[in-house]
Structure 1
Amino acid sequence: MKIRFGYVATALGLWDASPSKTITFTRYSKLPKNERIEKLKSITAQNLQHTKRILYYNIAHEIKLYRFSSSLVPLATHPEVLWDFLTPFKNEWEELGNIIRHFKLRVSFHPNQFTLFTSPREEVTINAVKDMEYHFRMLQAMNALDSGLINIHIGGAYGDKSNSINRFHHNLKKLPKEIKKHMTLENDDKTYDVKETLIICEKENIPMVLDYHHYMANTGESDLHPYLHRIYNTWNNVYNVPKVHISSPKSEQAYRSHADFVSLDFVLPFLKMAKELDQDFDIMIEAKQKNLAMHKLIEEIAAIRGVKRISGSAVEW
């Protein structure tokens, strides 16, 4: 069983390399009209340059798994802005894509919690489609659709989970099929547990991303063990191996919050369970210390008897 590791958005330790610089709409509105687009272009140029630096950091450390910041383009989906962020940066998007393909990187996006398809309000669904289109267009501009995925949560229950699930299936029909082909769904820490998420994924033919920390915070009636094989099977028609999210609680009092690093003791039961299936998979680290937490966890896992480190960010067990 081979496990590759990755992290989210920012490579800590790189100087001034945030890929998420932005500007509020209020501040944008106060700029002279002839300066507004130039400001958006300036920030986007910085974010794309910093992303390129991060990708090269990943390559140097043999990190094949990376989640882009969703804030690469400021105000990209704001209804009063809606600017062309692709044409002015055609070369930059293509350069990122060339790096991804040449070094066979696995990339993804994770839109925010407001991108959901369970709301009874039509405008929420319309905005969710727009946000998915925004992320899809970035993957398309990078020519990274072969392996690039967009991960979201199911959404809220609105006091009636059964109706909300039916609404999810109905509202999802408004998402273009070419975008749906690149989406994944993840179990959450409060509402939709592993079993509920899995059933929806199987019905919609969408790969499921297992979040182990969320599972521990919201187990519902599910014992994870009998579901893991089915979760893996949702990836059968996808270019890549299954993906799992890993983090650990900040404290008992703040159980749902992510800690700075990942506790090996917390995740070891899952790793041993996965070992029984003996199937390759990828782990996205969601700890606050990002790449630093990833490096630390890899070293700790590699020290386990029977585990062999096979690259800067992968082990074999």
Structure 2
Amino acid sequence: MRIGYPCVNESLDCTATSTFRLASYSDERVELAVANNLGCLLRILQFNVAQGLLFFRIGSGIVPFGSHPVNVFPWQTRFADEFRAVGDYIKAHHMRVSFHPDQFVVLNSPDAGIVERSIQELVYQGSMLDLMGLDSTHKLQIHVGGLYGDRELAISRFIDTYRRLPAAVTARLVIENDDRLFSLQDCLRVHAAVGIPILFDNFHHECLNHGEPMMEALRLAAATWHPERDGVMMMDYSSQALGERKGKHTATLEEDLFRNFLVDVGDLDVDIMLEIKDKEASAQRACGILRDVGRIAILAGATTE
């Protein structure tokens, strides 16, 4: 079992998503930014390994405007060695990484232009995992998308778009249940149609469900992951911030709630991404809890967002 935290490491003095304004685009700026971002990414990975945090979500902006037509810089060849070095480090330390493309990636949009740009963004982000030499257990995490006033049509459009994605994308793509529109049951319908794994979000399930107990929901989602092709289930973990609007994530790990959640996890092998504000601080505390309950030995996890 690995534990993770999303995308900014607050202990280091660098960012792996440095960028610039589109209006000031130049090949030189791209080259400088990618060099900085990959260098910082390796530093973050090294930090995480030292802390026993081996699950990491990489920020989408490693390459500024990576899927935009304006970016004609051959970053794939210029930084082939650097990407490979990052991938070699990940493999050498038994880490697992993922990407979570931004909310503008909407495969079920009725706007063909948005769908096409979404596909290009997924191709771009998946290509970075390919450049790292990582297998299909390293994932691209998205939501089903928008409702657009018709749940059945929205789900159908996602399925239709999914079926025309490149194989290199579908091998990595997973869908997450959300807190307002598409529940675990909706995601299970999509999985039944196309076989896409479900990345389970416990907090979203608490906000939107059909009465499934947490223990049952975890097992339903875990059953959608093929053990060799996909690896063990990835999931997101958080809890409600007290006194805040429904759905707002807590600022720090509530240790008693996390211990209770582990009871529901039981003997499932899962990699847990903590979507909690204080990031690596909570991840380190979560690892300590896993050690206390005998659920962690060599492996533990982290993220970037």
- TM-score, shorter chain, exceeding 0.5: yes
The answer to whether the aligner puts 1:136 opposite 2:121 as a matched pair is: no
Q: Is the 8 A contact 2:51 2:284 kept in 1?
A: no
List per-residue Cα deviations over 1:207-232 (Å, max 9, x = no partner): 11100111112224544443332211
Which 10-residue stretch deviates more, 116-125 or 224-233?
Answer: 224-233
Q: How does 1:174-189 map to 2 (within 5 A)?
A: 174-189=164-179
CA distance in 2 between counterparts of 1:127 and 1:151 reads: 16
> Match for 1:11: what amino acid?
N
| Cα displacement (A) at 1:203 | 2.2
Partner of 1:33: none
Match of 1:299 among 284, 288, 295: 288
Does 1:313 find its partner at 2:303? no
Taking the aligned partners of 1:180 and 1:312, their CA distance within structure 2 comes to: 27
Pair 1:130–1:218, CA change in 2 (3 A): same
* Relative contact order higher in (CA < 8 Å, ≥ 6 apart): 2
Gaps of 5+ in 1: 29-35
Q: CA deviation at 1:121?
A: 0.8
Confirm or deny that 1:150 pairs with 2:140: yes
Q: Which moved more, 1:123-132 or 1:72-81?
A: 72-81
CA contact (8 A) 2:202 2:214 kept: no
2:77 equivalent among 77, 84, 87 = 87
Structure 1 Cα separation of the partners of residues 223 and 271 of structure 2: 14
Per-residue deviation, 1:123 = 0.8
- In structure 1, what residue type is equivalent to 2:297? I
Letter in 2 for 1:255: K
Cα distance between partner residues in 1 of 2:299 and 2:226: 27
C-alpha distance 55-151 of structure 1, shift in aligned 2 (>3 A): same
Equivalent of residue 282 in structure 1, options 271, 276, 296: 271
How far residue 308 of structure 1 moved from its aligned partner, in angstroms, is 5.8
> RMSD of the TM alignment (CA)?
2.0
Which of 20, 23, 27 is the aligned partner of 1:26? 23
Contact 2:57 2:100 in 1 (8 A): yes
What is the aligned partner in structure 2 of residue 255 from structure 1? 246
Moved more, 71-80 or 236-245: 236-245
Structure 1 stretch displaced more, 196-205 or 37-46: 196-205
Residue 10 (structure 1) aligns with: 8
Distance in 1 separating the partners of 2:295 and 2:108? 43
Separation (CA, whole Å) in 1 of partners of 2:220 and 2:289: 28
- Structure 2 counterpart SS, 1:39: helix
Which residue pairs with 1:241 in the alignment? 232
Deviation at 1:279, TM superposition (A): 2.0
Task: Measure, in 2, the Cα distance between the counterparts of 1:136 and 1:308.
Answer: 31
Count of residues paired in the alignment? 300
Cα distance in 2 for residues equivalent to 1:40 and 1:63 = 30
Q: Measure the CA separation in 2 of the matches of 1:83 and 1:153.
A: 30
Can you list the C-alpha shifts for 1:20-78, whole angstroms capped at 9, x where unaligned?
Answer: 111121343xxxxxxx1101111111000000111111221222211111111111122
Task: In structure 2, give the amino acid aligned to 1:40.
Answer: V
Q: Normalised by the size of structure 1, how large is the TM-score?
A: 0.88
C-alpha distance in 1, partners of 2:209/2:259? 17
- Distance in 2, Cα, partners of 1:312 & 1:102: 13
8 Å CA contact 2:126, 2:169 repeated in 1: yes
1:216 aligned residue? 206
What SS is found at the alignment partner of 2:8? coil
Task: Say whether 1:70 aligns with 2:60.
Answer: yes
CA distance in 2 between partners of 1:265 and 1:57 (Å): 27
Tell me the equivalent position of 2:115: 125
